[in-house]
């Protein structure tokens, strides 16, 4: 929705926003391809002008909502001879779209509740007014401007998930006993959880700062990247420590900490890997 809201023509907003809001349209954003993830300038999917519209060809992978979405924003080259400047965001409404195919719902190590899929576009005809903003070649800039919000979102989830982990761990170590004492009574447990609490407090303060900047329209790419990479690293680190305090029970799916551990891993990968975040920060040095 943010792409339509910020860049859509008035006609596109009228056409899509109410149906996205009601849930009649379920959205997905398809950037990643089997051969291009971090390096989005390398996307091979094309949207070529044909008559009044475009014909889309290519394949995407790892697309969240891929099994459910019927409104897919596809990152495609409208001018394959150009890199970023030849990239556009084109909407494919998939209901009844000939040549559109969903691949596997990929089997992940965590985040089982959301679907992540391959998508195939084989000569899919798309109306000419489905390029977001109505002008070709704006896609890269649109992505670069909207990705900070997605990255901030990931950081917010990171803090929230780790806080949930702390809550679950505290409940566990107050209950479980070894050597006649509660696990919480060991100084090691107290020190580990003191560290976790400190890290999460610092992370939350920084994320709150970023939310403040975002609300004022001042969250730049580098600062959003700091939040995404640093908070998700902290999330992974703290949840791992807290799983350890559960002993063998922490490795069992029925314990909340096990699910949090599995779900945390991908946070350092999607939305731009943490290495790419560091590249973006490094450009401002
Ligand atoms: C669960 C899940 C959901 C996802 N949802 C979506 C979605 O909805 N839409 C979408 O478009 N994509 C989605 N993705 C894809 C995700 O954004 C990509 O996986 C991610 O951007 C990395 O791309 P890649 O997998 O091709 O890795 P690659 O780009 O092949 O990277 C491999 C490794 O090389 C490193 N690397 C690459 N380039 C550099 C460099 N210049 N310097 C240093 N290191 C580098 C990376 O950091 C990484 O460690 C999802 C992925 C997952 C796992």
Q: CATH no. for residue 9?
A: 2.40.110.10
Distance (Å, whole) CA 77 – CA 56: 9
Last residue of a domain, one of 135, 170, 188: 135
State the Cα–Cα distance between residues 49 and 60, nearest whole angstrom.
Answer: 20
Examine the fold and report which residue of 110, 135, 160 is the final residue of a domain before the chain moves on.
135
- Tracing tokens 């339509």 back to the chain, one arrives at 4
What residues contact residue 86 under an 8 Å CB cut-off, 6+ apart?
A: 77, 78, 79, 80, 137
Distance of CA 100 to the CA centre of its chain: 23
**Cα distance between residue 281 and residue 285, in whole Å:** 7
The tens place of each residue's pLDDT in the chain, 285 residues long, gives 999 999 999 999 999 999 999 999 999 999 999 999 999 989 999 999 999 999 999 999 999 999 999 999 999 999 999 888 999 999 999 999 999 999 999 999 999 999 999 999 999 999 999 999 999 999 999 999 999 999 999 999 999 999 999 999 999 999 999 999 999 999 999 999 999 999 999 999 999 999 999 999 999 999 999 999 999 999 999 999 999 999 999 999 999 999 999 999 999 999 999 999 999 999 999
Closest CA to 43 of 75, 85, 82, 11: 75
Q: Are residues 120 and 175 in the same domain?
A: no
Tokens of 81: 């001879």
Do 50 and 168 lie in a common domain?
no
Based on the fold, state whether residues 119 and 227 are members of the same structural domain: no
Q: Give the tokens for residue 192.
A: 């580990």
Give yes or no: residues 183 and 65 share one domain.
no
> Residue 259: CB partners within 8 Å, gap ≥ 6?
110, 253
- Whether 66 is in the pocket of ligand 1, judged by its Cβ within 6 Å, is no
Question: Helix, strand or coil for residue 269?
Answer: coil
What spacing in Å lies between the alpha carbon of 229 and ligand 1's midpoint? 13
Q: How many angstroms separate the CA atoms of 177 and 173, rounded?
A: 8
Nearest CA to ligand 1 atom 45: 275
Kindly give the number of the ligand 1 atom that is closest to the alpha carbon of 276: 47
Measured from the CA of 111, which atom of ligand 1 is nearest? Answer: 1
**Which atom of ligand 1 is found nearest the CA of 266?**
53
Q: Are residues 73 and 154 in the same domain?
A: no
Quick one: pLDDT at residue 50?
94
Give the CA-trace dihedral at 20, 32, 66, 262, to 10 degrees: -110
Ligand 1 centroid to residue 284 C-alpha, Å: 22
Asked whether the beta carbons of 157 and 163 are under 8 A apart, the reply is: no
Residue to mutate, 67, 75, 139, 273, ligand 1, most ligand atoms under 8 Å from C-beta: 273
Co-location of 113 and 182 in the same domain: no
154 plus 190 within the same structural domain: yes
Q: Which CATH number characterizes residue 171's domain?
A: 1.20.140.10
Euclidean distance between CA atoms 103 and 119, whole angstroms: 5
- String of DSSP letters for 174-199: HH-EETTEEGGGSHHHHHHHHHHHHH
Asked if 10 and 120 sit in the same domain, the reply is yes
* Closest to 75 (Cα-Cα) out of 112, 97, 47: 47
- Beta strands, E only, the chain: 27-30, 46-50, 53-64, 71-77, 87-93, 100-105, 116-127, 177-178, 181-182
Phi, psi for 47 (deg, rounded to 5): -130, 105
pLDDT score recorded for residue 83? 84
Whether ligand 1 lies within 6 angstroms of the CB of 64 is answered as yes
Considering the domain architecture, whether residues 196 and 93 belong to the same structural domain is answered as no
Number of domains in the chain: 2
Q: Are residues 163 and 268 in the same domain?
A: yes
Domain range enclosing 102: 2-135
Question: Is 150 known to be catalytic?
Answer: yes
pLDDT of amino acid 130: 97
Q: Which of 110, 92, 142 is nearest to 258 (CA)?
A: 110
CA dist., res. 63 & res. 106, Å (int): 9
Q: Kindly state if the Cβ of 30 falls inside 6 Å of ligand 1.
A: yes
Q: Which of 72, 102, 135 is the last residue of a domain?
A: 135
Residue from 33, 98, 150, 241 carrying the catalytic annotation: 150
Q: What per-residue confidence (pLDDT) applies to 82?
A: 87
Instruction: Give the residue whose CA is nearest to atom 4 of ligand 1.
Output: 62
126, 147: one domain: no
**60 CA distance to ligand 1 centroid (A)?**
12
Residues 25 and 118 in one domain: yes
Indicate which residue's Cα is closest to atom 41 of ligand 1.
Answer: 276
Contacts of 269 (CB under 8 A, 6+ apart): none
């Amino acid at each position: 929705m943010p792409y339509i809201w910020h860049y859509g023509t008035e006609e596109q907003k009228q056409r899509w926003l109410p149906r996205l809001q009601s849930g009649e349209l379920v959205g997905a954003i398809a950037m990643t391809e089997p051969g291009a993830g971090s390096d989005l300038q390398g996307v091979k999917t094309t949207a070529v002008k044909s008559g009044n519209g475009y014909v889309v060809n290519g394949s995407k992978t790892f697309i969240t909502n891929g099994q459910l979405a019927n409104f897919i924003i596809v990152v495609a080259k409208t001018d394959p001879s150009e890199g970023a400047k030849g990239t556009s965001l084109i909407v494919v409404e998939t209901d009844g779209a000939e040549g559109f195919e969903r691949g596997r719902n990929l089997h992940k190590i965590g985040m089982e509740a959301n679907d992540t899929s391959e998508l195939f576009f084989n000569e899919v005809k798309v109306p000419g007014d489905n390029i977001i903003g109505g002008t070709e070649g704006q896609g890269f800039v649109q992505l670069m401007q909207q990705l900070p919000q997605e990255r901030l979102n990931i950081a917010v989830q990171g803090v929230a998930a780790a806080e949930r982990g702390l809550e679950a761990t505290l409940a566990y170590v107050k209950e479980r006993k070894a050597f006649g004492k509660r696990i919480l009574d060991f100084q090691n447990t107290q020190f580990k959880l003191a560290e976790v609490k400190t890290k999460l407090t610092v992370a939350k303060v920084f994320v709150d700062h970023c939310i403040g900047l975002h609300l004022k329209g001042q969250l730049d790419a580098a600062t959003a990247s700091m939040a995404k990479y640093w908070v998700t690293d902290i999330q992974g680190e703290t949840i791992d420590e807290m799983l350890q305090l559960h002993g063998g029970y922490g490795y069992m799916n029925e314990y909340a900490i096990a699910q949090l551990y599995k779900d945390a891993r991908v946070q350092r990968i999607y939305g731009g890997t943490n290495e790419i975040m560091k590249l973006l920060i490094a450009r401002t040095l």
